[in-house]
Amino acid sequence: MADLDPLFFPKSIAVIGASNRPLTIGHRIVSNLLDNGFTGKVTPVNPKATPILDLESAPSILEVEGDVDLAHVIVKRSLVPRVLLDCAKKGVKVCIVNTSGFKEMGPEGVAAEQEIVAIAKEHGIRLFGPNCQGVMNTDPSVSLYSNFTFAEMTAGHISMVCQGGGVAEVINNYFGMNRVGQRMYASNGNACDISIPEILEYYGDDDDCHAIVLHVESFANPAEFLERVRPVAAKKPILALKSGTTPEGARAVSSHTGGLMAADTVTDVIFDKCGILRFRSLGELCEAAQAFATQPILRGNRLGMVTNAGSPAIIITDEAIGAGLRVPDLADASKDALREKLQAIASIANPIDMAATASGPEFSASLKTLVDDPNLDAAVICFMTPFFVDTLSIADAIVEQAQRTDKTLIAVAMTNPDGKPEWSETVERVRAAGVPVYYFPATAARVLYHMDRYRQLRDRPSAADSAPGSAASPEVRGDVEAARAILAQAKPGPDGFMDPAEVSALLAAYDIPFAPEGRGSTWSEVQATAAKVGYPVVLKAEAPTLIHKTEEGAVVLNLTDDATLKTAHSQLQDRLGDSHDLTFLVQKYQEKGLEVIIGGAAAQGLGSMIMFGLGGVHVELFKDVVFKLAPLTAPEAEELLDSITSAPLLAGYRGQPAIDRAALVNVVRKVSHLLADHPEIEELDCNPVMLFPAPTPPAVVDARIKLASR
Amino acid sequence: MADLDPLFFPKSIAVIGASNRPLTIGHRIVSNLLDNGFTGKVTPVNPKATPILDLESAPSILEVEGDVDLAHVIVKRSLVPRVLLDCAKKGVKVCIVNTSGFKEMGPEGVAAEQEIVAIAKEHGIRLFGPNCQGVMNTDPSVSLYSNFTFAEMTAGHISMVCQGGGVAEVINNYFGMNRVGQRMYASNGNACDISIPEILEYYGDDDDCHAIVLHVESFANPAEFLERVRPVAAKKPILALKSGTTPEGARAVSSHTGGLMAADTVTDVIFDKCGILRFRSLGELCEAAQAFATQPILRGNRLGMVTNAGSPAIIITDEAIGAGLRVPDLADASKDALREKLQAIASIANPIDMAATASGPEFSASLKTLVDDPNLDAAVICFMTPFFVDTLSIADAIVEQAQRTDKTLIAVAMTNPDGKPEWSETVERVRAAGVPVYYFPATAARVLYHMDRYRQLRDRPSAADSAPGSAASPEVRGDVEAARAILAQAKPGPDGFMDPAEVSALLAAYDIPFAPEGRGSTWSEVQATAAKVGYPVVLKAEAPTLIHKTEEGAVVLNLTDDATLKTAHSQLQDRLGDSHDLTFLVQKYQEKGLEVIIGGAAAQGLGSMIMFGLGGVHVELFKDVVFKLAPLTAPEAEELLDSITSAPLLAGYRGQPAIDRAALVNVVRKVSHLLADHPEIEELDCNPVMLFPAPTPPAVVDARIKLASR
């Protein structure tokens, strides 16, 4: 933690490249520091030592009086190394390099960036940036606005770190316009030294930070991210947006698993492993952050509503039900209480629909009832501001209940605050009590949905046991050394695919149940193998050049005796033998069970991912598959199976028996260990894997493995 | 049209129940009329004839001087009939009955509403309401704010009609806050006489209305809606939100088709048939309306972008690609032009990413390039307002291009307009030029997505030919009379399901291809039937009490000769014969083709809907089905087939041959005519229907029909 204290809690700041010209960054940073009441000392530095904003300047960092914790570096790129050396001499602890023209500008910039990193390393200076905005910290002990932007900051409990400066500004302005209180802020541009994970770790240790907003476009070091950020996410909510399509989306894939990966599957698995709440919409992230900052996380998904306008509450109900929240009946005691206090025309139900004429006392009674109702975990107050109602009394009713409950409260004010001063004051009062206020009715339901997602993420069984290293359950570990030997000797084809016999051996090393099989070329070899495997059998022609066996008609199913097998063998030999160098796989014919696919793919810098989905063509059309980082703990494997839309098929569906789930959990965990132990496996398909009700064991019917080129 | 002229273009208005107390509706309406500059005459009416807001009052409508086109009725419910009689005597043409306590309050209110409808009918008065807000019309010839709400109205080209007054206020306030110009407005509450379709028809004939916003919670008369609104939607965009779960969602269903209906499937088919653009989010509807009101509909889905901040433009790209829009490369000429005009650090690509320092001239050059680029149909200008840039010059650059292009332009201003007067002025200038301005980057892509959805809806082949009556293509019409006779004699079981033999006959009357079959009870009857049908056959035990044949093991597949058939027959008789009164269906065994389900369901007040989806358990898990109103024209049938996610399976997928699509189109059209001709068919399942490559004809393997109780 101490490392970043000089960045977020500096006592003395030098602005190297400060300027008197109002439209420059060097001017703006100084004025931002002053305007926002920085409690420490600010020293502008410029060659002429011109006074800036009435502050005395120093001609060089070396001539600044006293210690300097933090220096902004705004000089042109070629001067940065020199300035950093001076900073080192001066004992500056952290430099925010605002200057651009580094990594973002191609090879020459990369070299320049490497140079400044080397200088910083050698002299023990920490670098923030380059090509960056800066930091803020609303802690009253510093009141730090060390940034050249123009946002309003209200003190509060959300801390932010954003890779994109533009996105950061959108969030900052949203928070400013909606009076969302912020704690700390960082936008570190190229992040050549102080990284996003390091900043997140710092926020994690800051008791006044209750929720974190994160924007990333790429992971400089996925493994570092995972290791440092996971403990932070265990402590407090991290609401994250990842934007930009990653290179994974573009890479050529040759397996089913690869084809089923989305452009940012890697992001999903990283966030999933960390327990980070991913958002697909920046707007929804901002709206949800507003609630996470001030409201307790709901304890369940049961939502109550009170309104003075029926039709918008219907929209909230629609959205809530659609998002998996519940809108239960009120308790009988609640209904009794409401009948006493509300007008006869009020609808005593959930939502409680009072008349448009309802005022403070009715809102107060209704909201108190919702807050006290044991059937509910959260309450939404959805109101218009009719001209004939004292709407401030509605605000006061909300504030009153907010002070006495630890249930989640959300307000929807369908008003134009510009219409009447009373209306904007109504909104302000509710917000000041820590109850977020939204304009569109459905937003309340979306926000509660995201909070409920977080609750489930936080409380999932795997959150407890999936700490690094805890996954090494002996019953699903394979023979790592045997597998290593097979892989070392493997001679993959030109496209990287392993020989099928080697694949079988590799799966066997991890005790992954393969359909009984053997191989041969001549008829007598094939016949002998069939005798060993036992009829009925399947005959498959194999060759490194035969990738899609089914499509090329290289598979003959359900051969029941020597005669039919012999015919199949000679027909395949005749049809394919000329163009391919054939071996024949004789495999025990499996009854058709429930077909699933278990896949694997290398995840750059993170080991491997495992994939699970139902088999068949529908899987590809619906992309109903899910990925997780390998290896899997048992609860993670359970989550993997439960995450697909077609999961009900595993439990038995429309009269079918349930498959042996425990056996399936073991198989996916074994595959996950195979992947994790051997990151040279670039892609893996076990497809199909046939599942049966216990006690029939699962069986991998076909498997393909592609190795990374060495 | 003339009918509603007195409502939207009145020359003289009486406010019956006008009051001097400022917080009453009777006061508010008078003051709204005056404050918004109504060009006609306003006469308050109250018993004491107290002057109101300096207007002379009349003690009764009968004593108002001159003709009265429109009267607001705000008296208590019991007085309304009396007042309406007076209005009739006076010759008032339309009454807006704001008074509540009618249909919405249960049986007594329903009776009261019927009474006023009867009075109005008898005396030729049109009623708007009761329990409603009123109307507005920004046409300068009236400048009419005949409503008790408190919204701001800017003149423009969107007309609105909303069933829910609260939702109407949300939209109104949004438009007010975002300076979206409106044309006419109506919120007609209980809609006892003047209906939403009638109002929409009026808007359709109004040349100054360019787009319509519609909110409904239910369809009072779906057939009227369809007939009157379809021609309107053909003329101008209707953006609609339907809220509230309909009773359909709750009705007990006994067929697969019924189970696959969503709560508001009926709404989908109505909107689909009309060509109405449905929104699921009120917020997105408001945002899109802003663009529809002032921007041309895009001519294609190719989007260009220019920005002064990289990371938000990445978010737009993500959202656009995800929504099916394209972000193509710029034309070479465009790149050349940009290289000349932009700074060296600018990224000449799509998005064009200028530096944060870019100002008017660079925005102007970039936007001109996008507007002139033949590869693009729409352009988004996404900008921050850096303190060091004259942002008004950015606004002027946008205005300049808006004036010279008929491509769609959308702006994203990531600014806090409260931050600096220049910034709010920047936003205002862009809006004033008719270019919508949003805050969150992704909104621009969402809006263009909705506009592109509208373009596709408008241009779909079925839009031209699906006028009522045009669907009667002889080749897919059945023998209506024969079917009617079968239905008249049908003796459905207690649960409403028709006898399977009758089902076969009914399908035959429409030439819907059923697998060859026959029925019998005894072994000799069964044997004779099998001889006629030809082996291999399927044997199915049937009884009115046997609903789920497969689940109850009442189906034996692929019987190849007399011996196996006999065994199956006696086993079924033994196992099921005691508890069910069995008949046996002997059906030609169909090779497994591509299984689809074709279903039907009655649509209250609208005839019937037809459903199509791929067969198998996956269909129910993924609910990958689509409904349309029956009967289907050929283009509608094509759309039906194309609308499911698994549509690629029809065209041949992963090496499978394509099925005979023309034959399938014929089958779904025939089923659609069967449904449309016989609305007593409450639910229909043809499941599975086996499809094959041509020339093998499709075959319905199993079918069930449930009739409405007579």
Is the separation of the CB atoms in A61 and A68 below 8 Å? yes
Higher pLDDT, A506 or A245: A506
* Bridge partners (DSSP) listed for residue B145: B136
- Give per-residue pLDDT as tens, A31-40: 999 999 999 9
- Identify residue A364 by its one-letter amino acid code: S
Instruction: Name the β-bridge partners of B72.
Output: B15, B96
CB proximity list for B683: less than 8 A, separation 6 or greater: B253, B254, B255, B257, B258, B599, B600, B601, B602, B704, B705, B706
Q: Which residues on neighbouring strands pair with residue A594, listed in sequence order?
A: A691
How far are the Cα atoms of B296, B469, B626, B666 from residue B641, in angstroms, in the given order?
A: 31, 22, 8, 12
A171-216 residue pLDDT tens: 999 999 998 999 999 999 999 999 999 999 999 999 999 999 999 9
**DSSP-derived pairing of the beta strands B699-700 and B681-691:** antiparallel
Burial class (CB in 10 A: 0-12, 13-18, 19+), A580: middle
CA angle A49, A53, A58 (to 5 degrees): 20
**For a pLDDT cut of 90, what percent of chain B falls above it?**
77
Option in A166, A420, A646 nearest B414 (CB): A166
Q: How far apart are CA B390 and CA B385, in angstroms?
A: 8
Chain B interface, mutation test: which of A175, A315, A345, A550, most B Cβ atoms within 10 Å?
Answer: A315
Task: List the beta bridge partners of residue A160.
Answer: A185, A213
Residue A466 has pLDDT above 60, yes or no: no
Round to whole Å and give the CA distance between A618 and B191.
47
Instruction: Judge: B170–A439 Cβ closer than 8 Å, yes or no.
Output: yes
| B310/A166 Cβ within 8 A | yes
Average pLDDT rounded to a whole number, residues B353-360: 91
Q: What is the pLDDT of residue A710?
A: 67
Q: Distance (Å, rounded) from C-alpha B113 to C-alpha A313?
A: 25
Q: Name the residue among B412, B423, B415, B463 with its Cα closest to residue B290.
A: B412
Beta strands in A392-510 (DSSP E): 408-414, 437-438
Q: Which residues contact A580 (CB under 8 A, 6 or more apart)?
A: A541, A543, A545, A546
Q: What is the pLDDT of residues B523-554, one digit of tens each?
A: 999 999 999 989 999 999 988 787 777 777 88
| pLDDT tens digit sequence for A305-353 | 999 998 999 999 999 999 999 999 999 999 999 999 998 888 999 999 9
Contact A646 B618 (CB under 8 A): yes
Check whether A251 has a pLDDT greater than 50. Answer: no
Check residue B343 and give its pLDDT: 87
Structure tokens at B670: 């025939």
A400-418 average pLDDT score = 95
Q: Considering CB atoms only, which of B416, B443, B551 is closest to A655?
A: B551
Mean pLDDT in residue range A219-245: 93
More confident residue, B277 or A491: B277
**B414/A318 touch (CB, cutoff 8 Å), yes or no:** no
The answer to whether residues A328 and A318 touch, using CB atoms and an 8 Å cutoff, is no
pLDDT band at A557 (very low <50, low <70, confident <90, very high): confident
| Residue written as token pair 């950020």 | A229
Rounded mean pLDDT, B403-421:
94
Q: Which DSSP symbol is given to A551? A: T
Task: Give me the pLDDT at residue A472, please.
Answer: 59
CA angle B424, B430, B431 (to 5 degrees): 85
Q: Is the pLDDT of residue B270 over 80?
A: yes
Alpha-carbon distances of A617 from A596, A628, A650, A653, A664, rounded to whole Å? 11, 22, 17, 19, 21
Identify which of B152, B310, B419 has the shortest CB distance to residue A164.
B310
Tokens 């003395």 label which residue?
A12
Structure confidence at residue B615 (pLDDT): 80
Distance, in Å, from the CA atom of A12 to the CA atom of A35, rounded to the nearest integer, reads 16
What is residue B557's three-state secondary structure? strand
**Comparing A1-5, A482-486, B296-300, which segment has the lowest mean pLDDT?**
A1-5
Distance CA B508, CA B499 (A): 14
Bond before A536 cis per omega within 30 degrees: yes
Give phi and psi for B512, each to the nearest 5: -90, 120
Taking the mean position of all CA atoms in its chain, how far away is CA A82? 40
Measured in angstroms, the CA of A440 and the nearest CA of chain B are apart by 6
Asked if B190 and B97 count as a contact pair (C-beta separation under 8 A), the reply is: no
pLDDT at B246: 45
The CA-CA-CA angle for residues B493, B495, B498, to 5°, reads 45
Whether A297 shows a pLDDT value over 50: the answer reads: yes
Phi, psi angle pair for A387, to nearest 5°: -65, -20
d(CA A682, CA B232): 57
Residue labelled with tokens 């905005």: A133
Average pLDDT over residues B452-472: 76
The whole-angstrom separation of Cα B260 and Cα B600 is: 11
For tokens 């009442």, the residue is: B554
CB atoms < 10 A from the CB of A579, how many? 11
pLDDT value for B2: 56
Q: Which residues pair with A388 in a beta bridge?
A: none
Written as one letter, the residue type at B41 is: K
In terms of phi and psi (left: phi > 0; alpha: psi -120 to 50; beta: otherwise), the region of A244 is: left
Q: Do A164 and B646 touch (CB under 8 A)?
A: no
Using alpha carbons, select from A309, A343, A320, A311 the residue that is nearest to residue A408: A320
What are the residues whose beta carbons fall under 8 Å from the beta carbon of B283, sequence distance 6 or more?
A: A440, A442, A443
Q: Are B489 and B482 contacting, i.e. CB atoms less than 8 angstroms apart?
A: no
Tell me the C-alpha distance between B407 and A581, whole Å: 59
How high does pLDDT run on average in chain B?
Answer: 92
Residues B699 and B590 sit within 8 Å (Cβ to Cβ) = yes
Task: Give me the DSSP letters along B33-70.
Answer: HHHTT-SSEEEEE-TT---BTTBPPBSSGGGSSS--SE
Average pLDDT, chain A: 92
Q: Does residue B695 have a cis peptide bond before it, meaning omega lies within 30 degrees of 0?
A: yes
Task: Give the distance from residue A379's alpha carbon to the nearest chain B alpha carbon, in angstroms.
Answer: 19
In chain A, which residue's Cα lies nearest the Cα of B616?
Answer: A618
Contacts of B82 (CB under 8 A, 6+ apart): none
Cα separation, B613 vs B257, whole angstroms? 10
Quote the CA–CA distance of B194 and B188 in Å, as a whole number: 8
Cis peptide bond upstream of B351, omega within 30: yes
Instruction: Provide the pLDDT confidence category of residue B279 given band limits of 50, 70 and 90.
Output: very high
- Distance CA(A625)–CA(A643), nearest Å, equals 8
Q: Do A314 and B169 touch (CB under 8 A)?
A: no
Tell me the pairing of strands A537-542 and A583-588. Answer: antiparallel
Contact between chains at A173 and B415 (C-beta distance less than 8 A) = yes
> Which residue(s) pair with B705 in the sheet?
B684
Cα B385 to chain center, whole Å? 38
Token reading at A107: 């090879």
Query: Where is B371: in which H helix or E strand?
Result: helix B360-372
Six-digit token string for A394: 């509605």
Predicted confidence (pLDDT) at residue A468 exceeds the cutoff of 80: no
The pLDDT value given to residue B474: 75
Is the pLDDT confidence value at A1 over 70? no
Residue A245: per-residue pLDDT: 65
Q: Show the tokens assigned to A633.
A: 């703990």
pLDDT at position B644 over 50: yes
Nearest to B583 by CA among B639, B641, B541: B541
Measured over all CA atoms, what is the biggest interatomic distance in chain A, rounded to whole angstroms?
101
| Nearest-by-CA chain A residue for B355 | A100
Q: Is the CB of residue A414 less than 8 Å from the CB of residue A441?
A: yes
Q: Which residue has the tokens 């409380």?
A: A459
Of A674, A501, A645, A466, nearest to A585 by C-alpha is A501
- Mark yes or no for CB contact A645/B315 under 8 Å: no
Burial status of residue B9 (CB atoms within 10 A of its CB: 0-12, 13-18, 19 or more): middle
Report the C-alpha gap between A130 and A77 in whole angstroms. Answer: 10
Q: Where are the alpha helices (DSSP H) in A180-221?
A: 196-204
Q: Which residues of B touch A179 (CB under 8 A)?
A: none
B386: preceding bond cis by omega (within 30 degrees):
no
Q: How far apart are CA A120 and CA B158, in angstroms?
A: 60
Predicted TM-score (pTM) of the model is 0.93
Binary contact (A443, B419; C-beta < 8 A):
no
Structure tokens at A415: 């008003």
pLDDT per residue over B16-38, tens digit each? 999 999 889 999 999 999 999 99
Q: Which helix (H) or strand (E) holds B85?
A: helix B80-90
From B174, B312, B550, residue closest to A170, measured CB to CB: B312
Please report the pLDDT score of residue B251 as a whole number. 46
Q: What was the pLDDT predicted at A253? A: 56
Are B649 and A621 an interchain contact pair (Cβ–Cβ within 8 Å)? Answer: yes
